[in-house]
């Protein structure tokens, strides 16, 4: 495919578009360098300057931690993918009442603060251990799989599958030989993201692992924050980075081998009422939803049960600032802060993510091998923020950002920036499979007819990708709404987001604070669902515009 393209395009145009692509790359690469690479390198260098990194690197404990980290992340990823695929099918292919509600509902786990989910899982499975860590990690990430894979699946042309069936293939055979290969890039994308989230999940492991099960992430946190053992933390960060890069390379390899240009269709043409064996998949999806709802329902029940029986006190308290003024603002104000911060972060991340995705696709289409390799490297680099310890990045900010004008270390701008760092990789992973699947012949036809690269992008790529973009924006927004780790350390006390407020409430004694924390969780879920529903509705409304 690539070689054929190279022959078609004139060499001059190839170089020009590569140069244009590099210009577009300035913003994403600059953002990543400033807010990710520089702080991380600085804090690791500080660790090296203290010495002893090599000793820490070769302790047997380090390798045990690395092995456990990778193993639990791999297991969690497998569970999330297995659970996510039937849901993705449901979202993409099934025309039944209530699918829209499901689409909104699966996003809820993603926004819940880890401390609250940790408490819910401990209540449901008091034994704890590896099993609950894997389940909790998967719980958070089913949405990533369902949304990323579902996004592509909804647009796959159903006729290839039907043709296989007409030629005598069984339903299963048609799926494995026609549909699955087309979905693989999206599955690999989702798996990579989920793996990174699980490999660096912190609160879940800390709470459910007791004191015995530890990962690189929790150990980096401990050594940085509690022991100020920067050389030990630097050594562990390097190991974590190595593991993450290895995982990304494996993922990139899988994507490269399997990627094919698929014919994309509108969802309205591909969704239909399930028939025959398809009902089993729908049942499986329903089962997954039931499991996802269990901790959520447990939280809702918790929000209305007190020592004296059922009560709505927690919900009433949302109008106030908690018992004894735990918060500086009311629960509602915190919700508004959340919406505002998430808007900023999503806009920032969309700009950076779309630019990066466009650059990545054009590099990949480039006839020059060097450009394609650059594209691969940049693709992996854009994912790294998900794989590096938040505490490494946070402490890195302290030692680097002070050197920039306007002391960003204490600026309210830092919250959206940090959230954007988390969202950008998600947006890229959601938009890229669709952009890459766009049939090159469409673009070539447009170019042959005299369209400039920008016009090709506007007339061909944008309409085809519009819905994935909207989906990515919604997902990014939801992630920003729920982001807790970075936000909790960066948000100012007079402007806490809802997850931060929940964190403060749950860490205070007193029944009212606790009730209010759980009520605030319910509010967070509600806000999430409303936002997701509104975006989905908007997406459906402008479907005609971007129809294909």
Partner 1 sequence: MRSLRAVAALTLAGTLTAGCTLFSAGDQEESGPVTVTIATHESWSVPQQVLDAFRDQTGIRINVHKEGDAGELTNKLVLTKDDPIADVAFGVDSTFASRALAEGVFEPYTSPEGDRGPQRYSIDPQNRLSAVDVGDVCVNIDTEWFAERELAEPTSLDDLTDSRYRDLLVVENAATSSPGLAFLLGTIASYGEDGWQDYWSKLKDNGVLVVSGWTEAYTQEFSGSSGQGDRPIVVSYASSPAAELGDDGQPRTKALLDTCYRQVEYAGVLAGGSQTSEAGKVVDFLLSQQFQSTVAENMFVYPARAGVALPAHWERVAPQPEEPATLPGERVESGREEWIKQWRALVEN
The answer to whether residue 413 forms part of the interface with partner 1 (CB under 8 A) is yes
Check if the beta carbon of residue 185 is closer than 8 Å to that of residue 361.
no
CA–CA separation, 355 and 394 (whole Å): 25
Query: What letter does residue 310 receive in the DSSP assignment?
Result: E
CA–CA separation, 126 and 131 (whole Å): 11
The answer to whether residue 236 forms part of the interface with partner 1 (CB under 8 A) is no
What single string gives the DSSP state of each residue in 323-339? Answer: GGG-SSS-HHHHHHHHH
> In the set 33, 177, 410, 542, which binds partner 1 (CB under 8 A)?
410
User: Whose Cβ is closer to partner 1: residue 348's or residue 521's?
Assistant: 348
Question: Helix crossing, 278-304 with 60-93: angle to 10°?
Answer: 110
Binding window for partner 1 (CB under 8 A); candidates: 5-13, 145-153, 235-243, 398-406: 398-406
> In the set 2, 4, 8, 23, which binds partner 1 (CB under 8 A)?
23
> In the set 22, 27, 254, 298, which binds partner 1 (CB under 8 A)?
27
Q: Nearest approach, Cβ of 284 to partner 1 (angstroms)? A: 32
User: Whose Cβ is closer to partner 1: residue 277's or residue 510's?
Assistant: 510
Q: Nearest approach, Cβ of 280 to partner 1 (angstroms)? A: 38
Nearest to 348 by CA among 21, 17, 32, 13: 32
Does residue 94 sit in helix, strand or coil? strand
Give the side-chain half-sphere CA count within 13 A for 183.
28
The answer to whether residue 207 forms part of the interface with partner 1 (CB under 8 A) is yes
- Stretch 503-522: interaction string toward partner 1, x if CB under 8 A: -x-xxxxxx-xxx-------
User: Whose Cβ is closer to partner 1: residue 154's or residue 502's?
Assistant: 502
Q: Which helix (H) or strand (E) holds 306?
A: strand 305-306
The answer to whether residue 398 forms part of the interface with partner 1 (CB under 8 A) is yes
Give the distance, in angstroms, between the CA of residue 46 and the centroid of all CA atoms in the same chain.
30
The answer to whether residue 296 forms part of the interface with partner 1 (CB under 8 A) is no
**Which residues of 406-457 form beta strands (DSSP E)?**
none
Q: Nearest approach, Cβ of 2 to partner 1 (angstroms)? A: 22
Size of the site for partner 1 (CB under 8 A): 76
Give the distance, in angstroms, between the CA of residue 514 and the centroid of all CA atoms in the same chain.
29
Pick out residues in 95-124 that bind partner 1 (CB under 8 A): 115, 118-119, 122-123
Q: Nearest approach, Cβ of 72 to partner 1 (angstroms)? A: 16
Pick out residues in 146-205 that bind partner 1 (CB under 8 A): none
User: Whose Cβ is closer to partner 1: residue 54's or residue 407's?
Assistant: 407
Radius of gyration of the chain (CA): 24
CA–CA separation, 149 and 84 (whole Å): 8
The answer to whether residue 72 forms part of the interface with partner 1 (CB under 8 A) is no
> In the set 8, 163, 225, 445, which binds partner 1 (CB under 8 A)?
225
Binding window for partner 1 (CB under 8 A); candidates: 20-28, 92-100, 176-184, 188-196: 20-28
How would you classify residue 247: left for phi > 0, otherwise alpha for psi between -120 and 50, otherwise beta?
A: alpha
Nearest to 109 by CA among 485, 420, 478: 478
User: Whose Cβ is closer to partner 1: residue 306's or residue 444's?
Assistant: 306
Q: Nearest approach, Cβ of 548 to partner 1 (angstroms)? A: 21
94 beta partners? 272
Pick out residues in 337-396 that bind partner 1 (CB under 8 A): 337, 340, 343-344, 347-348, 350-351, 355, 395
Does residue 156 sit in helix, strand or coil? strand
> In the set 168, 172, 325, 405, which binds partner 1 (CB under 8 A)?
325
CA–CA separation, 320 and 334 (whole Å): 11
């Amino acid at each position: 495919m690539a070689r054929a393209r190279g022959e078609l395009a004139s060499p001059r145009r190839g170089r020009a578009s590569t140069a244009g692509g590099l210009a577009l790359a300035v913003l994403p690469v600059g953002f990543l360098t400033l807010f990710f690479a520089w702080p991380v390198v600085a804090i690791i260098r500080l660790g090296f300057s203290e010495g002893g990194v090599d000793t820490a690197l070769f302790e047997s404990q380090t390798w045990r931690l690395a092995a456990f980290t990778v193993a639990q992340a791999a297991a969690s990823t497998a569970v999330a993918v297995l659970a996510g695929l039937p849901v993705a099918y449901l979202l993409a292919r099934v025309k039944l009442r209530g699918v829209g509600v499901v689409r909104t509902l699966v996003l809820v786990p993603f926004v819940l603060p880890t401390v609250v989910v940790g408490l819910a899982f401990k209540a449901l499975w008091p034994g704890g251990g590896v099993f609950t860590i894997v389940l909790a990690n998967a719980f958070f990430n089913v949405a990533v799989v369902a949304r990323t894979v579902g996004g592509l699946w909804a647009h796959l042309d159903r006729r290839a599958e039907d043709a296989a069936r007409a030629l005598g293939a069984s339903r299963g055979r048609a799926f494995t030989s026609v549909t699955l290969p087309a979905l693989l890039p999206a599955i690999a994308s989702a798996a990579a993201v989920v793996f990174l989230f699980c490999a660096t999940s912190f609160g879940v492991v800390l709470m459910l692992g007791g004191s015995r099960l530890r990962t690189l992430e929790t150990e980096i946190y401990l050594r940085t924050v509690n022991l100020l053992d920067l050389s030990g933390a630097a050594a562990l960060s390097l190991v974590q980075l190595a593991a993450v890069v290895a995982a990304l390379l494996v993922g990139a390899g899988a994507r490269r081998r399997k990627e094919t240009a698929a014919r994309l269709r509108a969802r309205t043409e591909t969704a239909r009422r399930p028939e025959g064996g398809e009902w089993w998949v729908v049942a499986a999806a329903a089962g997954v939803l039931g499991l996802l709802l269990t901790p959520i329902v447990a939280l809702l029940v918790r929000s209305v049960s007190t020592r004296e029986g059922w009560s709505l006190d927690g919900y009433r308290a949302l109008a106030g600032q908690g018992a004894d003024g735990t918060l500086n603002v009311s629960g509602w104000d915190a919700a508004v802060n959340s919406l505002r911060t998430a808007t900023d972060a999503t806009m920032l991340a969309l700009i950076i993510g779309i630019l990066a995705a466009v650059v990545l696709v054009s590099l990949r289409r480039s006839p020059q091998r060097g450009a394609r390799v650059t594209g691969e490297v940049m693709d992996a680099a854009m994912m790294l923020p998900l794989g590096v310890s938040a505490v490494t990045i946070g402490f890195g900010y302290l030692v680097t950002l002070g050197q920039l004008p306007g002391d960003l270390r204490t600026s309210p701008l830092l919250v959206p920036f940090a959230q954007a760092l988390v969202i950008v990789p998600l947006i890229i992973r959601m938009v890229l499979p669709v952009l890459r699947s766009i049939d090159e012949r469409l673009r070539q036809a447009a170019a042959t007819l005299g369209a400039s690269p920008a016009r090709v992008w506007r007339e061909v790529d944008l309409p085809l990708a519009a819905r994935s973009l909207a989906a990515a924006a919604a997902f990014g927004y939801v992630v920003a709404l729920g982001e807790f780790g970075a936000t909790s350390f960066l948000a100012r006390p007079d402007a806490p987001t809802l997850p931060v407020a929940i964190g403060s409430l749950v860490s205070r004694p007193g029944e009212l604070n606790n009730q209010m924390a759980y009520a605030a969780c319910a509010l967070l879920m509600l806000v999430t669902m409303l936002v997701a529903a509104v975006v989905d509705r908007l997406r459906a409304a402008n479907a005609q515009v971007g129809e294909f």
